[in-house]
Chain A
Amino acid sequence: MKSVIAVLTVVAAIVLFWYVACVPMNIKGVLTEAQRAGAVVQPAEAADRRGMSSFALVAGNSFAIPATWAQERPRLPAPHQVAVELWDTTVNKKITSKRSLVYHGWVTLSATLLGFAIGTGLGILLAVGIVHSRVMDMSVMPWAIVSQTIPIIALAPMIIVVLYSIGVQGIIPKAVISAYLSFFPVVVGMVKGLRAPDSMQLDLLKTYSASTSQGFWKLRLPSSMPYLFASLKIGIAASLVGAIVGELPTGAVAGLGARLLAGSYYGQTVQIWSALFAAAILAAALVALLGLIERLVLKRMGVSA
């Protein structure tokens, strides 16, 4: 209960700070508009205003403060503007509409999920190979670890164009990017998990004369679950970033990344912010869903309390 109050306080403080920040961020644009509409502003010359700090402008023109929260294309939209835009583009639009965020969110989500499934599947397979083969362990594992330190997302534009030139387009290129971004975290986490049983437990199975596959299914796989879910949560977040970035270089027309790009081309800041929040909500929902599955699985296995 105490934590809930603390979290709410922090969130309220952030929202309050956001509202306050809107005033100096937007004041110049607001004053220009107000002057065009015939209001008297201090100082009257646009050239004079350019050199002044935003805070001095706010102090001289306090009548303009409410307008900074209601601009059409503000530098920083106020929280309620973003919320209204989110509500309008999700609930008030048909989901087949090109302006519906649900539609764009689904385009990105489907690529994310497909890529995530491919990436995790391959990652788990490779991890199983690494744990059972010394050669693979020694040759592949160092590279898998090194690959974590390099920004492989730089490959994204190239993958899109190369796949396009051999005739593959649509959801697949984005899914490929999502897949390789979620692949390496899963490999590294799963190898750690499959190695989690200590030598006592492995020896016990040996005294039962269990085969390697029995040892895998009955001991290694169950004990790897906590590690697997930890890396799945990292992997799904990475997949979503991959799908969004995958939409940037081709000038895609649908998807959250396309909304971000279109918004930045046309200066539609409210649209950028609402796409950003949609992506954040999507990421949070996916991670929360995995957390829920983790709880159910671990509970069924009797691992967690």
Chain B
Amino acid sequence: MVMVVIAVLVWCGGWWLNSRLANSPASKTRAVQLLVPAVFGVTVLVVWELLVRGLEVSLVILPAPSVIAERFASSLPILWEDFAQTILKGALGGYVIGCGAAFLTAILVDRSDFLRRGLLPVGNFVAALPIVGTAPILVMWFGFDWQSKAAVVVVMVFFPVLVNTVAGLRETSAMQRDLMETYAASYWQGFFKLRLPAAMPFIFNGLKIATTLALIGAIVAEFFGSPTVGMGFRISTSVGQLALDMVWAEIVVAALAGSLFYGLVALIEKTVTFWHPSQRG
């Protein structure tokens, strides 16, 4: 009971601290803007820990953060193997192939007005569909190993990247294209010097959406069959054994991998599209 009372107190304390910080004159500074969510996150973790211990919540329902952290630290080799199998091989392999194929298709589509009219509505339609459903079929075709996961990822990322790239390649105005023409620029000169740079913000938008989709595809595809390694495999078997601390450890890995992957793409975007208004401080 004491722990529950402390948990309530910690929650109120964290909230009070945050409201002081948020309403203080320093709230516009970068440090405070990072500090406030950090305080919130730590408060949630501490309250979680105290409530789980105070109410003696069973391990099979919700393990305490400290238990998860312990499990995370003690099974690093397994987690790394799963990470390598699912993220590095499955998700990343599929991401590169899928985005590359989508980009090349986009250039093809862009050269023909007829194709663009026909393919864009179809692409938009497909992008809204539950494509994860193709996982059982692709697992059947490409076997249980990472190739089938990469195939699911390819299918999932292809259309969002395609639609965004095609939209981006149309971003230049007629004036700008006319200017290139007066310079007697060839198609490819105009493409590389004007239209591709102008398309970059759109392309990166597609690439960022695709990072999350890639992880989802790679993990969910493993629910349909996998070798005895991989994050989706570990999650579904650990759930079966009620080893929820392991499941949470995998989720921590997935969260870290997802944020890192997204952050990496965002970082590349920042260096490539430094000229765009959204990137200028």
Asked, given contacts A237-B130, A249-B223, A280-B129, whether A165 binds B60 with beta carbons under 8 Å apart, the answer is: yes
Question: Per-residue CB proximity of A150-167 to B under 8 Å, as 1/0?
Answer: 110111011011100110
Asked, given contacts A135-B22, A279-B130, whether A162 binds B244 with beta carbons under 8 Å apart, the answer is: yes
Chain B min CB distance to A235 (Å): 12
Which single residue of chain B is at the shortest CB-CB distance from A161? B239
The CA-CA distance from A75 to B136 in the complex, in Å, is 12
Chain B residues closer than 8 Å to A148, beta-carbon distance: 212
State which of B21, B61, B134, B250 has its C-beta within 8 Å of the C-beta of A154: B250
B247 touches A276 (CB 8 A): no
B15 touches A135 (CB 8 A): yes
Chain B min CB distance to A165 (Å): 6
Question: Per-residue CB proximity of A231-265 to B under 8 Å, as 1/0?
Answer: 00100010011001100110000001000110110
Total interface residues on B, using CB and 8 Å? 64
Stretch from B32-40, B70-78, B92-100, B179-187 forming part of the interface with A: B32-40
The CA-CA distance from A139 to B236 in the complex, in Å, is 32
- Residues of A274-305 contacting chain B, CB below 8 A: 275-276, 279-280, 283-284, 287
A165 touches B61 (CB 8 A): yes
Question: Per-residue CB proximity of B234-277 to A under 8 Å, as 1/0?
Answer: 01100110101001101100110011011100000000000000
Which single residue of chain A is at the shortest CB-CB distance from B261? A149
Stretch from A3-11, A46-54, A201-209 forming part of the interface with B: A3-11
The CA-CA distance from A8 to B211 in the complex, in Å, is 31
Is A182 part of the contact surface with B, judged by Cβ < 8 Å?
no
Stretch from B162-170, B189-197, B224-232 forming part of the interface with A: B224-232
Is B115 part of the contact surface with A, judged by Cβ < 8 Å?
yes
Is B139 part of the contact surface with A, judged by Cβ < 8 Å?
yes
Chain A min CB distance to B181 (Å): 25
A150 touches B119 (CB 8 A): no
Which single residue of chain A is at the shortest CB-CB distance from B208? A149
State which of B118, B136, B216, B236 has its C-beta within 8 Å of the C-beta of A151: B216
Chain B min CB distance to A139 (Å): 4
Asked, given contacts A151-B254, A162-B61, whether A269 binds B128 with beta carbons under 8 Å apart, the answer is: no
Asked, given contacts A10-B115, A138-B37, A158-B247, whether A275 binds B133 with beta carbons under 8 Å apart, the answer is: yes
Q: Which of A140, A162, A275, A284 has the most CB of B within 10 A?
A: A162
Chain A min CB distance to B177 (Å): 22
Is A146 part of the contact surface with B, judged by Cβ < 8 Å?
yes
B22 touches A138 (CB 8 A): yes
B118 touches A248 (CB 8 A): no
Question: Per-residue CB proximity of A127-142 to B under 8 Å, as 1/0?
Answer: 0000000110111111
Chain A residues closer than 8 Å to B40, beta-carbon distance: 139-140, 143
Question: Per-residue CB proximity of B1-24 to A under 8 Å, as 1/0?
Answer: 000000000000001001101110
Is A183 part of the contact surface with B, judged by Cβ < 8 Å?
no
State which of A75, A240, A279 has its C-beta within 8 Å of the C-beta of B140: A75
A138 touches B250 (CB 8 A): no
Which single residue of chain A is at the shortest CB-CB distance from B41? A143
A245 touches B220 (CB 8 A): yes
Q: Which of A135, A146, A256 has the most CB of B within 10 A?
A: A135
The CA-CA distance from A138 to B34 in the complex, in Å, is 9
User: Can you list 18 A-B contacts with CB-CB less than 8 angstroms, sorted by A residue number?
Assistant: A2-B117, A6-B114, A134-B27, A135-B22, A135-B23, A139-B40, A143-B40, A149-B258, A157-B239, A158-B244, A158-B251, A160-B239, A245-B223, A248-B223, A248-B224, A261-B136, A263-B136, A272-B137
Q: Which 3 pairs of residues, A with B, have the shortest CB-CB distance?
A: A6-B118, A264-B136, A10-B118
A residues neighboring B (CB under 8 Å): 2-3, 6-11, 14, 75, 134-135, 137-143, 146, 148-151, 153-155, 157-158, 160-162, 165-166, 233, 237, 240-241, 244-245, 248-249, 256, 260-261, 263-264, 267, 269, 272-273, 275-276, 279-280, 283-284, 287
